[in-house]
Structure 1
Amino acid sequence: MNDILKNLTVLFVEDEEKIRTSLAGVMEDVFKSVILAGNGDEGLKKFKKYNPDLVITDITMPIMDGLEMAKEIKQISKFTPIMVLSAFSEKERLLSAIDVGIDKYLIKPIDVEELFEATCKLAKNKIGVASEIDIGNGIKFNKTKRVLINSAGEEISLTKKELAFVAILAQRIDTLVLHEEIKQSVWTGEKVSDAAIRTFIKRIRDKIGANLIKNIPGLGYKISTKDE
């Protein structure tokens, strides 16, 4: 089990601090990285910033609940597995979770072993299937290894920042990623000019092809599989 989960980054969203802290302490021994949020709004923002491999969330939370957050996340990245932990067992809630696209539903109180076993199965069935994303020109982005592979099966050499930029676009195919979000994800805490970003993207285009990354003037960038 640990061999699968130790390479994954998980976003854990829970409004009860005691539960959040307790489970996070256990998760940190199992996952590569654990990102914490106290409500759905914070969880959605952190999902956009960190692009985790999977999401584990409570349902009833202030500001934005877990199901609403899950719906937003699925619109951004439909392949990202989402597991719901909740004290609710009513049929209506279960049906709502299914409608949103929740991949797994566990009822509180949570048994830690059951949680990790379910997460492991989810990782095998969902993350493995969608581990490679075809971005065009015979190039694929491997989500697990976080590398770009060309049509010959060779890794394309990218800097850490270049890979971070490609990763955020590859995991949101056909979705516009705004300038501000790109700056926060790639240049966290650093000041970068629009001219520097254009030069940066030109270098990436030189490596993967000029037509893959599309500029939406004044807004941001995306990788599109649709004819436009």
Structure 2
Amino acid sequence: MNKMLKNLTVLLVEDEEKIRNSMGSAMEAVFNKVILAQNGDEGLKKFKKFNPDIVITDISMPIMDGLDMASGIRNISKDTPIIVLSAFSEKEKLLKAIDVGIDKYIIKPIDMEELFEAISFLATSKISGANIIEIGTGYAFNKSKRVLIQNDVEIPLTKKELAFISILVKRLGTLVLHEEIKNTVWIGEKVSDAAIRTFIKRIRDKVGSNLIKNVPGLGYKIETNF
């Protein structure tokens, strides 16, 4: 199975408790994090809160159905893959799913192997292309979640550390000058060159010495290849 799946956060929206818990348990063995919701309204709120990489939803649910929730998600994110699970096979439902921008439609009862294959395909083709970029040997950056990954493990970073890494990733392979780093990371604050050097050393202690290249007297960059 695609090893990239273990880096993903998945939102599963299903109103039937037994199905929700059963599928959730199976998914926890495959994905980094599985978030459960019991209707479209709760699903939309959890999407806004957790910003998952992929959404898997039933259609017929109380309060808000899966397609209305998917439409709400599309207003927030055009790129997040959405897989619909449903017993429906009527033309109207399929057409509405297409209008909403559903990436995959799977008819119940659900074959978990088929579901994982669909997620694996979307992870490779859509999520990887849109959100996760390789930034060096063993390193990747999730642009939507703004997370640095080393050898498939997320590296915890402070807000300022993340701002620094983000600007280097945005300008991958290009030198980012000290002044731009100051203006981006320490907005409106005064910071000394010594404090910046200490800051960079702390990041290197977390991520390893090979990722961030220093150009003495000028700034820093991330090379695309080591």
**Conservation of the 8 A alpha-carbon contact between 2:146 and 2:162:** no
Which letter does structure 1 place at the counterpart of 2:34? V
Query: CA separation in 1, counterparts of 2:145 and 2:60?
Result: 31
**Compared with structure 1, are the counterparts of its residues 95 and 11 closer, same or farther at alpha carbon in structure 2 (3 Å cutoff)?**
same
- How has the CA–CA distance of structure 1 residues 147 and 84 changed in structure 2, closer, same or farther, with 3 Å as cutoff? same
Match of 1:82 in 2: 82
Distance 1:142 1:89, change over 3 A: same
Within 1, Cα distance between the matches of 2:21 and 2:83? 18
Task: Tell me which residue corresponds to 2:147.
Answer: 146
**Cα deviation code 1:140-191 (max 9, x no counterpart):** 962477249xxxxxxxx95059859xx9xxxxxxxxxxxxxxxxxxxxxxxx
1:55–1:82: 8 Å Cα contact kept in structure 2?
Answer: yes
2-side partners of 1:128 and 1:6: how far apart?
Answer: 13
Tell me the residue number matched to 2:119: 119
The normalised TM-score by structure 2 is 0.63
Deviation, 1:206, is 3.8
**Which consecutive aligned stretches of 4+ in structure 1 deviate over 4 angstroms post-superposition?**
160-164
Post-superposition shift, 1:54?
0.4
2:208 is the counterpart of 1:207: no
The residue that corresponds to 1:99 in the other structure is 99
Please tell me whether the aligned partners of residues 58 and 86 of structure 1 are also in contact (alpha carbons under 8 angstroms).
yes
Structure-1 separation of matches of 2:183 and 2:77? 23
Question: For residue 190 of structure 1, what is the aligned residue in structure 2?
Answer: none
Which protein has the larger Cα radius of gyration, Structure 1 or Structure 2? 2
SS at match of 1:98: helix
**1:48 partnered with 2:26:** no
Q: 1:33 to 1:141 in 2, by over 3 A?
A: closer
Q: In the superposition, relative to structure 1, how do residues 34 and 60 fare at CA in structure 2: closer, same or farther (>3 Å)?
A: same
Task: Determine if the alignment matches structure 1 residue 37 to structure 2 residue 37.
Answer: yes
- Structure 2 residue aligned with 1:68: 68
Aligned residues: 160
Q: CA deviation at 1:72?
A: 0.6
Are 1:7 and 1:144, in contact at CA under 8 Å, matched by a contact in 2? no
CA distance in 1, matches of 2:75, 2:187: 27
Q: Cα–Cα, structure 1 residues 37 and 70, in superposed 2: closer, same or farther, change >3 Å?
A: same
Counterpart of 1:219? none
- Root-mean-square deviation over aligned CA pairs: 3.1
Contact kept, 8 Å, 2:59 with 2:66, in 1: the verdict is yes
Structure 2 gap segments, 5+ residues each:
134-140, 150-155, 167-181, 189-226
Percent identity at matched positions?
66
Q: Is the 8 A contact 1:8 1:144 kept in 2?
A: no
Residue 207 (structure 1) shift:
1.1
